[in-house]
Chain A
């Protein structure tokens, strides 16, 4: 902002120079303390002392070694500067080549070398590497040939011979190699690695047997076919009657965002988790396709009882609020994504971290629930007779109508049960791990732990006046996700 006669303009560097090195060091210390204490005052750059008081966050912050200049460091002759006609004139378009044959020679060489690398299993360029690269290209837009709508049989992708990456979305058959072979343990590790890259916080694997098939929607049927299919107009969804596994993944929410109001959190964290969940699901299906395997289920609601799959795959326990509670992430996970595949995987077992036991004495989510939807019964019970419920679980049954009515009936969107859960914590302080160790091994201390959770001020109502709009944008974690999370 330009200076004027009413404003005393002092540049940050001038200010520091004038104060001298000693005062500068003092300023650094003050900045450190204020940043540490969360006020951010010392962090604010300013060009104008009055402006600093009125709007300390008005300027874009740059690292201290970067300075703004009037002209870019590349020389530009604006008098002779020509507008480029458009992307059709780039080398990506064969027509822009003097001899279009040169373009096709290059991409034929690309096809040949890519195939050769896959066939020779070159590290970094093997079938699984290509499958991962293709999977992560999903969502790049129309040019990649990806259909953004995810059908039952996985993301609909096809290689585009007119594209500069002609082998993208090739299948093993197109590469001239058999489908990926590995032991179930090797496959699990591979899928887990791919899943983490695609945005899964944790992953587990469930083999579909007579018991776990009941976790699928009742409308899903098994038929003696080589490949499943769907006819949405008849609400018919079919899986092949062969060995199948469920790849389960939890998608993290921004705990950082949950320090703000419910609506802020909902709008910017929870909903984005759903979109990231769908991106993950499409990518994992493209990955499986690239390995030569089938996948089913392409969105957040397409397979079955998601919390059930989360419990059976060992990613968490069934908590009082009727949602999955992860030992690492608490309830700060938006959904369990389930992808059915015929890739053999090593099953992961359910877990006992003392969470369900802790829920018996905690009840914090029930006390804090503004709609009163969460059961306050001491012990879990056989239920499921109400509307929109299903029997067969001894747990706490939530009154989903109350929850739904509160959330969407004109009140703020809500995620209180997630925010207040004592398992929903950042993982900076070592003390949280010690508390979880106690919960898992000494349940007698559970009541005291819950009380301490209150005393220490965890899970209080967010300050309604606090919003992220006043922050330095560079202080916001990318995607709102907490970078300290493992």
Chain B
């Protein structure tokens, strides 16, 4: 089994995670009947794109025999994703409780 022949496996996994994540987010928003405002959409799209970018860098760095680069990519790209996710979550939560009250 050659290295490259398994790469599809990891990209399919990333596809499942991202697709599943999108379905979960859609269902949550639908259930709470909350509409995102424009900057929340932008944050979400950027986070999504960065997540894909992080996964690509992680997988490709192993293909390039650069494991250190792979793990560091998780930190350097993952931290901005986390920060944006926190901002997004707090923004949505704040508006939700406002609507709720």
Interface residues of A (CB under 8 A from B): 29, 31-32, 35-38, 40, 42-43, 259, 425-426, 428-431, 455-458, 472, 474-475, 483-484
| CB of B26 closer than 8 Å to a CB of A | no
- Given A430-B56, A431-B57, A455-B72, do A32 and B64 touch, yes or no (CB 8 Å)? no
CA distance A475 to B66 in the complex (A): 17
- Chain B residues, CB < 8 A from A457: 66-69, 72
Chain A residues, CB < 8 A from B56? 429-430
Question: Chain B: which residue is nearest A456 at the CB level?
Answer: B69
Residues of B within 8 A of A483 (CB): 4
- Whether B7 is near chain A, meaning CB under 8 Å from some CB there, is yes
Beyond contacts A425-B64, A456-B68: 4 other A-B pairs, Cβ-Cβ < 8 A, are: A35-B2, A35-B3, A430-B53, A472-B2
Cβ–Cβ < 8 Å partners of B9 in chain A? 29, 32, 36
Instruction: Determine if B62 and A37 form an interchain contact, defined as CB atoms under 8 angstroms apart.
Output: yes
- Contact across chains for A458 and B73 when beta carbons are under 8 A apart: no
Residues of B within 8 A of A (CB): 1-7, 9-10, 53, 56-57, 59-69, 72-73
Q: How far is the CA of A31 from the CA of B5 in the complex (A)?
A: 11
- For residue A480, give the distance in angstroms from its CB to the closest CB of chain B: 14
Residues of B within 8 A of A429 (CB): 56-57, 60-61, 63-64, 69
Determine whether the beta carbon of A259 is less than 8 Å from that of B68. Answer: no
- For the complex, what is the distance from the CA of A428 to the CA of B73, rounded to whole Å? 14
A40 proximity list for chain B (CB < 8 A): 3
CB B63 to nearest CB in A, in angstroms, measures 5
- Once A429-B61, A430-B56, A431-B57 are accepted as A-B contacts, the answer to whether A35 and B1 lie under 8 Å apart by CB is yes
Residue in B closest to A61 when the chains form the complex, CB atoms? B1
* Residues of B close to A259: CB separation below 8 A: 65
Q: Do A458 and B66 form a contact, CB below 8 Å, given A429-B57, A430-B57? A: yes
CA distance A36 to B10 in the complex (A): 9
Give Cα A146–Cα B65 distance, bound, in whole angstroms. 41
Kindly name the residue among A40, A429, A431, A455 whose own CB sees the greatest number of chain B CB atoms within 10 A: A429
Q: Name the residue of chain B whose CB is nearest to the CB of A452.
A: B76
Residues on the A chain within 8 Å of B67, using CB: 37-38, 457
Distance between Cα atoms of A428 and B56 in the complex (Å): 9
Among A37, A43, A431, the residue within 8 A (CB) of B1 is A43
Docked-complex contact A36 and B65, CB < 8 angstroms: no
Would you call B2 and A456 a contact (CB within 8 A)?
no
Question: Do B6 and A31 have beta carbons less than 8 Å apart?
Answer: yes
Q: Is the CB of B66 within 8 A of A456?
A: yes
- Residue pairs across A and B with Cβ atoms less than 8 A apart, 10 shown, are A29-B9, A35-B2, A36-B62, A38-B62, A42-B1, A426-B60, A426-B63, A428-B63, A455-B72, A456-B69
B60 touches A38 (CB 8 A): no
Which residues of chain B are within 8 angstroms of A425 by Cβ–Cβ distance? 64
If A430-B57, A456-B66 touch, whether A32 touches B6 (CB-CB below 8 Å) is: yes
Tell me the bound Cα distance from A475 to B5 in angstroms: 10
Once bound together, how far apart are the Cα atoms of A456 and B64, in whole Å? 13
- Min CB–CB distance B75 → chain A (angstroms): 10
When distances are taken between beta carbons in the complex, the residues of chain A under 8 Å from B64 are 425-426, 428-429
